[in-house]
């Protein structure tokens, strides 16, 4: 077998996808180098299926190309999504050689042997969390042994993000950022460095640090749909709704009629809502309903999108609430969100029995939940939603003290959750709802504090801005009210005409002090 060392940059020709540029020396036949590099570039953008196909093409062109099998096997671990298919990965490695020693012998350099050795740990024996930790340590050793290897640094940083099994640990995320920041500076066209940095920084506190990577990534890899979407992890955390919508429209694909309920279209629908484009959000939701069975998780994603639509438009009698969506076997979070919105909508329509039925169903969801796995956090979203609906019922019973006590518990649970990227997982953020309850109770300064806290967790969320404006206006705090109403008008610059909140904001700002 002819072995060559690819030390050249992987700039892609006009005939191949534009995915970025890397420098990744790998021993293999010359013909196999281009699909191998394409596989690594796709791997950096989490385009896992396409990456696996590229690596298999490299294997076809050079059956002894060790890192081509390494690459395919690595596509079966998705650290940020806490997903791993060990059987598929082992099957890929088996095609290289029957044992770890046999596979290692196919790698002609110590560096490539180190990559394979780390992978053997990732797919070895033991629990996933233990293997993930051991693999990350092995990648750290690889970085120390080969400090000039930028790919090793990016894959090591990504392994750190997966240590908490899909749950954000801020200190670890910042550690990962320090590893890939120099890579991004040295190669501003590196898709993996930009991508990992976005994940490190995609919370409201650190999002400003990720703006440069977010603005660069869609240009680095314009032909990777995930790259187009990933920019919005930072944009959403900053409340940059125009950018959230524009990028997710691109990521969702050119054929709008073929869109299905999934991650990109869900974020797109949420962006429309924050822009005040309710009619377009409804049309989008109706299309997702039409195509819900064409996506792997189409039904639970559609239910989440419906919940976001109803809660953010406050259209409690929307016909979409009558849709039958089979949620058999979904996560407790998905079931709880769906039941909560049904109960909340019933209460807002004056249907007390429907609201109580929703509360009973929420309690049943919580009772039926399996205990959290060892080392995993309990998902607090169903607990928060249960307390929220109970608080609203107590408020409706003219028991504001009870409602406020329940909301203090709900907000404490929300604050204790690890920060999650994306639209609020609890669909009606606890601090926002608490602010509305306090506002109705006439506790205006407390309401302002809750709305401000809601906006710290979800910057420029429309209903939180509207609530803050109302609470501040009622308290005579014109400065805060004008600022909140002004931001609402800015993000609603393209909103449907005649939205009551927009009219309210415009009138208040125009009124003489």
Distances (CA, A) of 98 to 55, 102, 111: 19, 6, 21
- Is residue 352 located within the same domain as residue 490? no
Joined tokens for residue 282: 């409804």
Q: Is residue 35 part of a domain?
A: yes
Distances (CA, A) of 290 to 8, 258, 286, 315, 320: 48, 10, 6, 21, 12
SS3 label, residue 49: helix
Rg (CA), the chain: 25
Residue 446 has pLDDT above 70, yes or no: yes
- Is residue 36 located within the same domain as residue 64? yes
Residue 352 has pLDDT above 90, yes or no: yes
Q: What is the pLDDT of residue 12?
A: 33
- Is residue 10 located within the same domain as residue 152? yes
Joined tokens for residue 70: 């390494």
CA distance 241 to 114: 44
Q: Is residue 434 part of a domain?
A: no
- Is residue 307 located within the same domain as residue 448? no
What pLDDT, in 10s, does the model give residues 1-23?
333 333 333 333 335 789 999 99
Domain residues for the domain of 478 are 440-513
Q: Which of 15-24, 302-311, 389-398 has the lowest mean pLDDT?
A: 15-24
What pLDDT, in 10s, does the model give residues 275-287?
999 999 999 999 9
Contact 310, 320 (CB under 8 A): yes
Q: Is residue 391 part of a domain?
A: yes
Joined tokens for residue 239: 């409340």
- Is residue 118 located within the same domain as residue 266? no
Q: Is residue 275 part of a domain?
A: yes
- Is residue 93 located within the same domain as residue 129? yes
Q: Which of 459-463, 474-478, 503-507, 509-513 has the lowest mean pLDDT?
A: 509-513
- Is residue 345 located within the same domain as residue 388? yes
Nearest one of 507, 471, 472, 502 to 487, comparing CA atoms: 502
Query: Helix axis angle, 86-96 relative to 110-122, nearest 10°?
Result: 150
- Is residue 65 located within the same domain as residue 160? yes
Mean pLDDT of 192-198: 97
Joined tokens for residue 232: 């919005």
Give the percent of the chain with pLDDT over 90.
Answer: 90
Q: Is residue 500 part of a domain?
A: yes
CA distance 66 to 97: 9
Nearest one of 248, 240, 245 to 211, comparing CA atoms: 240
Choose one of 178, 196, 214: the last residue of a domain: 196
- Is residue 65 located within the same domain as residue 110? yes
CATH of the domain at 145: 1.25.40
Q: How many domains does the chain have?
A: 4
- Is residue 115 located within the same domain as residue 191? yes
Mean pLDDT of 261-285: 97
Q: Is residue 104 part of a domain?
A: yes
Joined tokens for residue 393: 């019922």
Confidence tier at 477 by pLDDT (50, 70, 90):
very high
Choose one of 196, 226, 244: the last residue of a domain: 196
- Is residue 304 located within the same domain as residue 363? no
Q: What is the pLDDT of residue 168?
A: 83
Query: Helix axis angle, 462-475 relative to 444-457, nearest 10°?
Result: 160
Choose one of 360, 394, 428: the last residue of a domain: 428
What pLDDT, in 10s, does the model give residues 115-132?
999 999 999 999 999 999
Q: Is residue 114 part of a domain?
A: yes
Q: What is the pLDDT of residue 375?
A: 63
SS3 label, residue 77: strand
- Is residue 17 located within the same domain as residue 146? yes
Q: Is residue 486 part of a domain?
A: yes
């Amino acid at each position: 077998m002819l072995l060559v060392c690819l030390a050249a940059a992987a700039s892609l020709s006009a005939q191949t996808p534009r995915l970025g540029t890397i420098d990744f020396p790998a021993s293999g036949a010359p013909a196999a180098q281009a699909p191998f590099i394409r596989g690594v570039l796709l791997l950096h953008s989490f385009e896992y299926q396409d990456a696996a196909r590229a690596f298999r093409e490299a294997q076809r062109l050079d059956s002894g190309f060790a890192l081509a099998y390494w690459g395919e096997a690595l596509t079966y671990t998705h650290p940020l999504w806490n997903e791993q298919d060990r059987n598929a990965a082992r099957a890929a490695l088996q095609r290289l050689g029957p044992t770890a020693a046999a596979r290692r012998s196919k790698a002609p350099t110590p560096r490539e042997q180190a990559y394979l050795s780390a992978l053997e740990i990732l797919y070895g024996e033991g629990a996933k969390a233990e293997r993930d930790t051991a693999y990350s340590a092995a990648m750290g050793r690889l970085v120390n042994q080969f400090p000039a290897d930028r790919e090793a640094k990016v894959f090591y940083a990504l392994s750190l993000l997966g240590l908490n099994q899909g749950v954000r640990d801020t200190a670890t995320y910042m550690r990962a950022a320090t590893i890939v920041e120099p890579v991004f500076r040295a190669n501003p066209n590196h898709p993996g460095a930009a991508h990992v940095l976005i994940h490190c920084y995609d919370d409201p506190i650190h999002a400003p640090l990720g703006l440069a990577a977010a603005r660069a990534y869609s240009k680095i890899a314009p032909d990777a749909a995930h790259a187009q979407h990933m920019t919005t992890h930072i944009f959403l955390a900053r409340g940059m709704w125009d950018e959230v919508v524009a990028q997710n429209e691109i990521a969702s694909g050119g054929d709008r009629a073929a869109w299905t309920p999934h991650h990109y279209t869900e974020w797109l629908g949420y962006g429309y809502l924050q822009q005040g484009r309710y009619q377009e959000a409804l049309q989008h939701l109706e299309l997702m309903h039409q195509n819900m069975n064409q996506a792997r998780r189409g039904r639970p994603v559609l239910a989440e999108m419906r919940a976001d639509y109803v809660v953010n438009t406050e259209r409690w009698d929307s016909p979409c609430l009558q849709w039958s969506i089979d949620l058999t076997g979904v996560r407790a979070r998905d079931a709880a969100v769906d039941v909560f919105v049904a109960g909340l909508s019933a209460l807002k329509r004056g249907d007390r029995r429907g609201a109580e039925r929703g509360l009973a169903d929420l309690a049943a969801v919580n009772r039926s939940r399996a205990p959290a796995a060892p080392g995993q956090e309990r998902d607090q979203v169903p607990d928060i939603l249960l307390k929220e609906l109970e608080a609203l019922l107590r408020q409706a019973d003219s028991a504001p003290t009870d409602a406020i006590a329940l909301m203090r518990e709900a907000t404490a649970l929300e604050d204790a959750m690890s920060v999650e990227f994306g639209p609020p997982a609890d669909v009606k953020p606890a601090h926002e709802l608490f602010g509305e309850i306090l506002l109705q109770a006439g506790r205006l300064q407390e309401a302002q504090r809750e709305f401000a806290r809601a906006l710290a967790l979800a910057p420029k969320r429309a209903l939180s801005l509207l609530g803050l404006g109302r609470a501040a206006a009622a308290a005579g705090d014109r400065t805060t009210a004008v600022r909140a109403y002004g931001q609402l008008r800015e993000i609603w610059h393209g909103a449907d005409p005649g939205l009551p909140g927009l009219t309210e904001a415009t009138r208040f700002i125009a009124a003489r002090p």
